[in-house]
Amino acid sequence: MTSRTTSSSHLEALPVELLDMIAGYAQRKDLLELARTSRQTHDVCIRHIYATIVLKNGCQAISCFKTLISNPRCAHCVRKLVVGALDTKVMLEAALRIVQVAMNKLKFLSAIYFAARSKSFELFSSIHFPGLRTCIIPLSIATVQFLQRHPNLAEVVVTPVEGEFRRLFIPAVAIPMAHLESFIGPDVIAEVILPGFRLSHIIIISCSRRLSRYARPISTIIDAVTRGGAKLESVYYLVTRWDTALLPSIAAHAPSVTFVHVQNEYDSRSFVSSEAFISSVDYAIAALQDLKVLQISQRRRGAVQTERLSQELAAEFELVRRWGDRVPALTYCLLPSETTWVRRRGRNVWIPVASDNSEAGRAIRQDWLFAALLDSPSLIQEYGFRDTQEEAAYKAQVRKNVDSLVRIRL
């Protein structure tokens, strides 16, 4: 008992700032123990214990809400709220009034994160959090209402949930967000909140094609995002079909983009082939002089034969070298053969690497590059390899150089 009392007195003698620093490194269970030692440590630890609240299930959430209602001091410590896939039935049976009252106590909440499939999001969408600056919320019928209630948000992430698009109705209303700095989310939301803002970070996921009744042309979406002078830095488009208007639209409205990723995971029998889409990229890429990363991927079905892969690699090699000539900043290209082409040595020297970084994929591409270089003396010189008169030594030297170039981890 004396030892504990002595430890407590030592802690009380420490400055509050130092106590706060110590509490910041402690685990939650240690904070709970430390909070019992004295009133001073209790006040410090409570701020850290309640700084982040994670709601894992409905029963735990209701218990937490009751604590926040009965103890405003704890509620004022909450800075981040993480909401899992709560059982909405439990929440409803406990009365929505408890949720409303508890959430209104969180005067200093600055960040709220919802699980992608959190059905309880609708229960929170009508609540206003005055200090909220960051949110991760699912795309649902309540998304627009939530954003309208929080015009001071600085960072917005909206996560679409696969299979739930066709039931949604996204009203075409403008949502002014004067403090927005970063946005990641679907084009149907980007179109209503982004126009007119110079954001530092934007990633767009295409969902409008799945909402066939409300589908908008890609050029309209890109124009809406950039109309007010927003600098489009990153574009991630998850598409349901290849659309040859995408890259020309980005080039026309956002020529300073540095990252473009187009992923088609759904339509394997598209009226527009991936070859036609890449042709549209070939036509538009010269306008994207700041582009550093270009990723074009699609779902592959089954194992690919080595002969077919070799043909794809040859075609893609010609492409990336042509694109490298047109866009000096371009450094990485992921193309439909599931190959990441990496630019080396600051020149138009491209190395194929398996996108999954597997040893088998690496070996296949390494052998292909070795054969391609042997067939082209001009490429040997471009890649900076020394020529020798003796054929065996020549091949050995090329193989050694190829091995050293391909030793790269993505």
Concatenated DSSP letters of 53-107: EEE-SHHHHHHHHHHHHH-HHHHTT--EEEE----HHHHHHT-HHHHHHHHHT-T
The count of other CB atoms within 10 Å of the CB of residue 257 is 23
Question: Would you say 36 and 42 are in contact if contact means Cβ atoms under 8 Å apart?
Answer: yes
| Cβ neighbours for 254, distance < 8 A, ≥ 6 positions apart | 222, 225, 226, 231, 232, 235
Could you report how far apart the first and last alpha carbons of the chain are, in Å?
Answer: 57
- Closest to 280 (Cα-Cα) out of 317, 309, 319, 254: 319
The per-type count for the chain, helices as H runs and strands as E runs, is 18, 13
Rounded distance between C-alpha atoms, residue 118 and residue 287, angstroms: 41
Rounded distance between C-alpha atoms, residue 333 and residue 296, angstroms: 8
Question: Would you say 21 and 49 are in contact if contact means Cβ atoms under 8 Å apart?
Answer: no
Q: What is the pLDDT along the chain (410 residues), one digit of tens a residue?
A: 444 444 455 556 666 667 667 766 677 777 777 777 777 777 778 888 888 999 888 788 888 999 999 998 889 999 999 998 776 666 665 567 788 889 999 999 999 999 877 677 888 888 999 999 999 999 888 898 899 999 999 999 998 876 555 556 676 677 888 888 888 888 778 877 876 666 667 777 776 555 444 556 666 777 777 766 667 777 887 777 788 888 998 898 888 889 998 888 665 444 457 888 899 999 999 999 999 999 998 876 555 566 788 888 999 999 999 999 999 999 999 998 889 999 986 678 898 888 877 778 888 888 888 888 888 777 777 776 655 444 566 566 666 666 666 555 44
- Closest to 202 (Cα-Cα) out of 184, 224, 188, 176: 184
To the question of pTM greater than 0.75 for the whole model, the response is no
φ, ψ (nearest 5 deg) of residue 293? -130, 125
Concatenated DSSP letters of 152-217: T-SEEEEE--TT-STT----------TT--EEEEEHHHHHHH-TT---SEEEEE--TTTSGGG---
Displacement of CA 286 from its chain's centroid (Å): 26
Q: Which amino acid is at 197?
A: F
- Closest to 339 (Cα-Cα) out of 348, 330, 351: 351
Rounded distance between C-alpha atoms, residue 116 and residue 138, angstroms: 5
Which DSSP letter does residue 241 get? S
